[in-house]
Chain A
Amino acid sequence: MKKNTIFTISAIVVLFLFLLYASHNFSAYNIRILNNVAIFLILAASYNLINGVTGQFSLEPNGFAAIGAYTAAILTLTPAQKSAMFIITPMVPWLQSVHMAFLPALIVAGLVTAFVGFILGFPVFRVRGDYLAIVTLGFGLTIRVVSNNTISITNGALGLKGIGNYTTLWWSWGWAVLAMIVIMRLINSEYGRAMKAVRDDEDAAIAMGINTFRVKMTAFVTSAFFEGVAGGLLAHLITTISPTLFTFFFTFNLLIIIVIGGLGSMTGTAIATVLVIWGSELLRFVEQPMHIFSLTIPGIPGMRMVIFAILLIIIMIFARDGLMGQKEFSWDSFFKFFKKNKKLAK
């Protein structure tokens, strides 16, 4: 086994030991934040695969997360719960009777979303650039309207309630680690290089004999699968979902994360996810009423988003490539950094 693989495995072990400690000693509030970080890590990493690595600027993750969340929730709810909840229009019978455990429900949610991604890919990848962003944005909006109006499947604007609170630290971080490993391995494969080639110059990639449609589709479907799973995890964390959860701001949050982390860098995404998700909890105090000496400032809800918007502007001016640019964290450069510092200390 290579040295770096051992380091990576030990880092994962350390992560899970930390989670073991956290699950016993942390407050419910902090555990909730940790779960959120993991789920947004899955979402952001898979979003970065299509946006940053393959360079196809798209705006659909809210749609994919919604499909995953609804699929997983419908599958884990018991038939009795469903018949109690669908008061306006009864649910479609075959969905009413279906019931699954958490893990198969998540996998089905991922597969359904991946399938939708596959179908969506055909019209989407006929266009490039700005048009691609517009088409995918349209898809994200459509999904919200559809989930609002297919009342016999989604219960419309009433949403789904009483979803089992199954998402533990183990589920969320287990999937996050799995998603990171799969995506990183994909990026470092022949296909991953082809994705980067498509990002740099699609025409040249075609001339090199790369089937660019298939490359883009692979990135899109992989991204859809994990976004679907993350949607399922999210549904079982907050236990109630409704169409209003999956607005464009959902996508916008992810966009902030991947831009801060660096388009095309997965480790950058991981750092940015922690910063943004955890940071937005830390920043809650700015929305409280404040007393500075004799000055009283009333609490302004939404102040946190203002701070993030300013942060985004600052990053766009001073560090356009984000925290990591397109680089990845690697053990070699990590140790090199420390060796250099040691030499300097001498």
Chain B
Amino acid sequence: MLKVKDLNVYYGVIHALKGIDFNVPENKIVTLIGSNGAGKSSTLKAVAGLVKPKGKISFLGHNIVGKRAYKITKQGLALVPEGRHVFVNLSITENLRMGAFGKKYSELKPLYKKAFDMFPILKERANQKAGTLSGGEQQMLALARALMSEPSLLMLDEPSLGLAPKIVAEVFDIIKSLNRGGMTILLVEQNAGLALKIADYAYVLENGAITLEGDAKSVLNNEQVRKSYLGEI
């Protein structure tokens, strides 16, 4: 579904991504793991069009390098940004509505129903401002909002960031069940253990380059990964 070849990102003189290749096949969860500053978020931003990359990105057979972010989103790619980024002064319904920006009014009703069925907590607070939600609820809202555009590829940037372990487990359950429903997911996580448990395939990023890839299970059992990311000695 998503094929990335020789992707480079520069921030001024800093070469943040040094020509990485990866694929996201349909109906799979692919995860990018790595430490701070490895280039995980830059990768997602480059794919979503939020930073201008060099290289080849093909999404559903179309080249999307150099396209503007709002056009890439319209092709069926949704990003849940790091740190949630909900619209704090808009109500939950309005937040969801922004996720479906450009959709016709008649198309919205079934989408709302789907979102509220999946996240009942949001239904209870539909008219509350998003800024009044807790961190976990905001993460749910960010997820629900991204799903409103009915994407074919969902990209999640650090969904566990700043959440209590119990909420993290809940969020990951939802991600897993979305995948079972046929959603293709590209997951970026610092919490490597959790990500590898639900993913099908994994890439390890270090200093802007991919150093290891393979089935999530084999990566999980890799000695180097266990030492560097899972804290085992």
Contact = CB atoms under 8 A, between A and B. Distances in A.
B176 interface: no
B81 A200 contact: no
B89 A200 contact: yes
A211 B79 CA distance: 15
A200 B73 contact: no
Contacts of A193: 90, 94, 97-98
A302 interface: no
A207 B86 CA distance: 11
Contacts of B85: 201, 203-204, 207
Contact of A209 (B94, B97, B102): B102
A205 B87 CA distance: 8
Interface string B42-77: 000000101000000000000000001110011000
Contact of B69 (A199, A200, A207, A326): A207
B99 interface: yes
Interface in A202-220: 203-212
Nearest to B73: A209
Chain A contact residues (Cβ within 8 angstroms of B): what range? 20 to 34
A236 interface: no
Given A208-B145, A210-B101, A199 B70 contact: no
A199 B87 CA distance: 9
Contacts of B145: 208
B163 to A, nearest CB: 18
Given A201-B85, A207-B81, A208-B145, A196 B70 contact: no
A197 interface: yes
Nearest to B130: A200
B88 interface: yes
Contacts of B48: 207
A266 B6 CA distance: 50
A189 to B, nearest CB: 11
A209 B90 CA distance: 17
Contacts of B70: 206, 209-212
Contacts of B98: 193-194, 197, 205, 208, 210
Interface string B92-122: 0010011101100000000000000000000
Given A193-B94, A209-B102, A209-B149, A204 B73 contact: no
Chain B contact residues (Cβ within 8 angstroms of A): what range? 20 to 34
Interface in A262-285: 264
A332 interface: no
A207 B90 contact: no
Interface in B106-164: 145, 149
B86 A211 contact: no
Contacts of A208: 73, 98-99, 101, 145, 149
B90 A196 contact: yes
A205 B142 CA distance: 12
A190 interface: yes
B89 A199 contact: yes
Contact of B90 (A190, A200, A211): A200
Contacts of B50: 203, 206-207
B112 to A, nearest CB: 15
Nearest to A196: B90
A215 B81 CA distance: 21
B127 to A, nearest CB: 13
Nearest to A207: B79
B188 to A, nearest CB: 14
A211 B68 contact: yes
Given A193-B94, A197-B98, A204 B149 contact: no
Interface of A: 190, 193-194, 196-197, 199-201, 203-212, 264, 326
Given A203-B50, A205-B87, A208-B99, 15 more contacts: A190-B97, A194-B98, A196-B87, A196-B90, A197-B87, A197-B98, A199-B89, A204-B81, A204-B87, A207-B73, A207-B79, A208-B145, A209-B102, A211-B68, A326-B89
The list of the 8 closest CB pairs from A to B, nearest first, reads: A209-B73, A204-B85, A200-B87, A211-B70, A207-B79, A206-B69, A209-B70, A197-B98
27 contacts: A193-B94, A194-B98, A196-B87, A196-B90, A196-B94, A200-B87, A200-B90, A201-B85, A201-B86, A201-B88, A203-B50, A203-B81, A204-B85, A206-B50, A206-B69, A206-B70, A207-B50, A207-B79, A207-B85, A208-B73, A208-B145, A209-B69, A209-B70, A210-B70, A210-B98, A212-B70, A326-B89
